Amino acid sequence: MDQILGQVLRNAVWERLDMLSDLADQADAASLVSVARSELPRLTDGWRAMLRAHEPDERGDCPTCSTRWHRCKAPCSVWQVAHEHLVAGGLAPQQNVRPGRRRAPEPAMQQETVPPARQAPLPRRVPAAETTGRHALVAASAR
C-alpha cells in the first residue's frame, strides 16, 4: 500500500510539473504573469524547504542523504542539482526537455538523484480509479 501511495504522490508531482511546462509553452503573456505570481512563490518555498532538509550538519554531512553506515559530505546531490538548475542553468548547455518532457538524467548524477521507481518502472496492478492520466500506475503496454 505504501508503494502505491508513493507512486500516486510522485505521479501527482510529475503531472503538476508537466502542466506548468505546458503553460509556459502555450499560455499568452497575461496568463503567464498570473501563473508566475501564483506558482513562483510556491516553487521557491518548495526548493527552500527541500534545501533546508539537506543543510550540512556540524560535521559537514548531509543529514538527509547520510545513513548510519555511509556519510554523505556536503554538498549532496540535492544541492548540486539545485545549483545546476537555479544558478548555473543559464550557463550550462541544456537539452530540449519538450515535447517528450523528462530527459534522462546525466550519467554522473543518475545513481544519486533518480529514485529507482523513475529508472525502470515496473508494471503494477492498481484499482481502476488510479489508472487515468499520463502518469497512470499501469504499464503503457497494459493500456
This prediction has a pTM of 0.59
For residue 63, being part of any structural domain is answered with no
Distance from the first to the final alpha carbon of the chain: 22
Q: Is the pLDDT of residue 138 over 70?
A: no
For residue 83, being part of any structural domain is answered with no
Query: For 18-56, what is each residue's pLDDT tens digit?
Result: 999 999 999 999 999 999 999 999 999 999 999 999 999
For residue 129, being part of any structural domain is answered with yes
For residue 72, being part of any structural domain is answered with no
Q: Is the pLDDT of residue 10 over 90?
A: yes
For residue 65, being part of any structural domain is answered with no
For residue 66, being part of any structural domain is answered with no
Q: How confident is the model at residue 89 (pLDDT cuts 50, 70, 90)?
A: confident
The count of domains in the chain is 1
What domain range is 18 assigned to? 2-55+109-136
**pLDDT the model gives residue 65:** 96
